[in-house]
Amino acid sequence: MIDKNYIVDTEEGFLQLKDDWSRLHEAACSKSPFLKWEWMHAWWQEYAGKINKASLNIVAFEDQGKLVGILPLYKYVEGSGLKKLTRVGFIGDQIESSDYLDVLTTADYVQYFADELDNILTGLFKGVDLYFFRGVFRDSVICKAYESLPESEMQLNEFRVCPFLQLPESFDEYLSTRSKNFRYNIRRRTKKLTNEDNAEFEVVDDPAKVVDCISEIFELHSQRAEQKNLDTKFVEDLRFNFHKSMAPEFAAAGLIKLFFLNVEGQRIASLYCFDYNDTLYYFQGGFDPAWSKKSPGLVMMARTINWAIENGRKVFDFMRGGEEYKFNWTNETTHMYEVYRATSLNGKLYLKSLQLRSSVSSMIKKIT
């Protein structure tokens, strides 16, 4: 079925893949904004140099000259001495929250990858201790390809819970699913900010404005994190350059929506979202702590969910993380997983140590 596979390991080759990658992404059965070429290329440009011995290793698959599969991988080294491991993982799997990763392919080739992927990778890559696929759904192509391997060679771990909201026809219909107290609080807080403070809801998706507005997203998030003493990794000196370089192309493709609450020209709350395939992905948010008593974060989320419903989106995805506040808005969840595939003695020893730690952790939970 697939008659050619090869590794793309140069920047030039990565650039040349862009158009075919984009066409494949639109037709793929497992896709997300974080599998877009623009996201992964920006990630590689910004973060590869921060990871020990990172080298590009995108695996491309062709059928009669047509690109029908992409596995966006890179190789890197973790640890040192006896704990040193050569790993292969998804581009985008560190530093940024790149969720819902997988083999990029169409439904016609899913069974092929489920049957052949492990053999193909072990044939293509030499000297690798561990394949580590983070951020995949349980029914992903990756899980299908590895789920039948023995425990000594493969481990599947639950990685993160991902709350989401199936959007109804109207915001009132949505509110009817929440508690009476929560409904009252949303309506009261929204009314007070709107009527007493003349707060205005703003949507920014113009590529010419998005980058400057992302600076405000970072600032509002940092202010809120500092007030609550949160351990946040969404900080400007680490991640702003990535978002600055990725955002123009994402915005030009209609993939970014930035939402703000403004009072007298001042932005007091924000949500940074990705807009793709009838889904609004909530990536990050923040607000000015000076407005805490007015609950701008609550109002911001309510207005954004309302916008998503009014504009025909089918899902509001809170993405990874089981933070308590998310469950005020929804009871629906899915999960992402990590797949570890050991291919050397060192890799198998590492896998065994993971399994032992998992067993000990489970025993402690039962005892306590």
Is residue 15 located within the same domain as residue 143?
Answer: yes
| Full residue range of the structural domain in which residue 123 is found | 4-161+335-367
42 and 11 co-located in one domain: yes
In a domain, 320, yes or no: no
Question: Based on the domain organization, do 242 and 131 belong to the same domain?
Answer: no
| Nearest partner of 329 among 130, 174, 191, judged by Cα | 174
Residues 157 and 197 in one domain: no
Is residue 328 in a domain? no
Tens of pLDDT along 48-74? 999 999 999 999 999 999 999 999 999
What's the CATH code of the domain at 271? 3.40.630.30
How many C-beta neighbours within 10 Å does residue 13 have?
14
119 plus 251 within the same structural domain: no
Question: For position 359, what pLDDT does the model report?
Answer: 66
Same domain (yes/no): 23, 94: yes
CA distances from 51 to 46, 59, 96, 306 (A): 10, 20, 13, 40
In a domain? residue 325: no
- Determine contact, residues 250/22, Cβ cutoff 8 Å: no
Do 213 and 258 form a contact (C-beta atoms < 8 A)?
A: yes
Distance, in Å, from the CA atom of 266 to the CA atom of 292, rounded to the nearest integer, reads 15
Helix (H, G, I), strand (E, B) or coil at 10: coil
d(CA 307, CA 301): 10
pTM value is 0.92
156: β partners:
339
Residue 357 confidence (pLDDT): 77
Same domain, 206 and 348: no
Total structural domains in the chain? Answer: 2
Question: Which alpha helices (H) appear in the chain, and where do they start and end?
Answer: 11-16, 18-27, 37-47, 110-124, 141-146, 171-175, 180-191, 207-228, 236-252, 296-310, 345-367
Residue type, 191: K
User: For residue 238, is it within any domain?
Assistant: yes
Look at residue 220 in the predicted model and tell me its pLDDT: 87
Residues of the chain short of pLDDT 70, as ranges, are: 225-236, 358-368
Return the pLDDT at 254.
Answer: 94
3-state class (DSSP) for residue 160: strand
In this structure, is residue 324 part of a structural domain?
Answer: no
- In a domain, residue 16? The reply is yes
| pLDDT for 211 | 87
Contact 22, 71 (CB under 8 A): no
Domain presence at residue 329? no
Of 283, 313, 343, the one marking the end of a domain is 313
Q: Which two tokens stand for residue 319?
A: 């993405």
Helix axis angle for 296-310 and 180-191, nearest 10°, is 100
Left, alpha or beta for 92 (phi > 0: left; psi -120 to 50: alpha)? Answer: left
Are residues 206 and 300 both part of a single domain? yes
87 and 235 part of one domain: no
Torsion of the alpha carbons at 110, 107, 125 and 83, rounded to the nearest 10: -70
End-to-end Cα distance, the chain: 53
- Count Cβ atoms below 10 Å from residue 209 Cβ, excluding itself: 12
Say if residue 156 is in the same domain as residue 9: yes
Under a CB-based contact definition with an 8 Å cutoff, are residues 270 and 201 in contact?
no
The answer to whether residues 222 and 344 belong to one domain is: no
CATH of the domain at 27: 3.40.630
In a domain? residue 276:
yes
**Cα 48 to Cα 320: distance, rounded to the nearest angstrom:** 23
- Whether 121 and 247 map to the same domain: the answer is no
